Amino acid sequence: MTEVVVVGSANADLVVEVPRRPLAGETLLGSDLAVHPGGKGANQAAACARAGATTRFVGCVGDDDHGVFLRRRLQEAGVDADHLRIVDRPTGTAIILVTPDGENSIVVSPGANSLVDADLARRAFAPDPVPRVIVLSMEIPAGTVDQAVAEAADHGVRVVLNAAPAQPLPPVTLRACDPLVVNQHEARTILGRDAGGFDELARGLLGAGARSVVITLGEDGALVADADGVQHQRGHVVDVVDTTGAGDAFVGAVACELAHGAELRAAVRFAIAMSAITVGAPGAQSSYPDRPAVERFLAGA
Ligand code: RIB
């Protein structure tokens, strides 16, 4: 039985290490090009499967080498990629610059991801009993996300929505999120507010209707907010090589733990550890640990 369905994007990540970000009109020389499997949705699916949940990915790639590469890497991570449709657009691509502090700048060309539609998402529920959790993010059309959320609600499936890249959400979609996972910038975009501390943002998102909220704080951990209150969970001090995809690893790990019956705070504790490990190696999916590695990390933390 599929425990988690991820409906989302798949990108070939074209990564160059640079000494700093280029200025407008400037040309910089960087490292050799590295090509990694990426895309928020595919990353979340890979992380979820690596963490131990039976996971299906629903998305689109082009009829090209990048599409073949992404399907293979999903399968190697243990993801069911049978619902990865081949469409008549190029596979999504992300151009990623990584600076020596491990931070990145990303431009995404969505390509095939633009054709992830509600019909494809609906079919993902059809072949066997409904999953326990559906994971969505915003690199596919917003209308598809809204319709998949409605479909999930009809089937009683728990919705984990990662509102990245940032964009406002309709109230009906927000009300289904359990949790809504955002960073502080995404939280501000949804609330339409420039100001406010993390507690205030979390309470604001609950007030706007989300059933539960997780605000990711990078190396400082995460804030969990629900009807039981707001709790800060600390991060881990680790050496940073590349933060790309750390947030997606977090989301995938949360989904895995919730699908296995964990309470949200326990799920977030596991997810913080998983994402902390990922920043120690290059790439997104390429850096994702398996469950035993996360458990060893937590035991030593
Ligand atoms: O969150 C990281 C991901 O964002 C990268 O893998 C890239 O593909 C972009 O989608």
Once rounded to an integer, what is the mean pLDDT over residues 13-25? Answer: 96
pLDDT value at residue 31? 97
Question: Residue 244 CA: which ligand 1 atom is closest?
Answer: 2
Once rounded to an integer, what is the mean pLDDT over residues 212-233? Answer: 96
Please give the Cα distance from 271 to 48 (Å, whole number).
Answer: 10
Which residue lies with its CA nearest to atom 2 of ligand 1? 245
In DSSP notation, 105-163 reads EEEEE-GGGGG--HHHHHHHHSSSSPPSEEEEETTS-HHHHHHHHHHHHHHTPEEEEE-
- Burial annotation 64-84 (CB, 10 A radius, 16+ → b, else e): bebbebbbebbeebbbbbebb
**pLDDT tier for residue 127 given thresholds of 50, 70 and 90:** low
pLDDT value at residue 196? 80
Query: With pLDDT > 70 as the criterion, what percentage of the chain qualifies?
Result: 99
pLDDT value at residue 128? 67
How long a stretch of residues is the chain? 301
Give the mutation target among 139, 181, 251, 288 for probing the ligand 1 site: most ligand atoms within 8 A of CB. Answer: 139
Q: Is the pLDDT of residue 224 over 90?
A: yes
Query: With pLDDT > 90 as the criterion, what percentage of the chain qualifies?
Result: 92
Return the number of other C-beta atoms located less than 10 Å from residue 4's C-beta: 29
Interacting residues of 69 by C-beta distance below 8 A, sequence separation 6+: 12, 35, 37
Q: Is the pLDDT of residue 58 over 80?
A: yes
Please give the Cα distance from 205 to 215 (Å, whole number).
Answer: 10
Q: Is the pLDDT of residue 296 over 90?
A: yes
Question: What's the chain's average pLDDT?
Answer: 95
Question: Ligand 1 center to residue 244 CA distance, Å?
Answer: 7
pLDDT value at residue 222? 98
| Listed residue (178, 256, 259, 181) closest to 214, CA to CA | 181
Please give the Cα distance from 22 to 5 (Å, whole number).
Answer: 38
- 231-252: pLDDT as tens digits: 999 999 999 999 999 999 999 9
Once rounded to an integer, what is the mean pLDDT over residues 126-140? Answer: 88
- Active-site position among 64, 128, 248, 290: 248
**pLDDT tier for residue 230 given thresholds of 50, 70 and 90:** very high
Q: Is the pLDDT of residue 217 over 70?
A: yes
pLDDT value at residue 129? 72
| Listed residue (177, 197, 184) closest to 254, CA to CA | 177
Catalytic residue status for 128: no
pLDDT value at residue 91? 98
Once rounded to an integer, what is the mean pLDDT over residues 190-207? Answer: 91
Please give the Cα distance from 243 to 103 (Å, whole number).
Answer: 6
Task: Give the ranges where the chain is alpha helix by DSSP (H).
Answer: 40-51, 65-76, 118-125, 142-155, 171-174, 184-191, 198-207, 246-259, 264-278, 291-300
Q: State whether residue 240 is helix, strand or coil.
A: coil
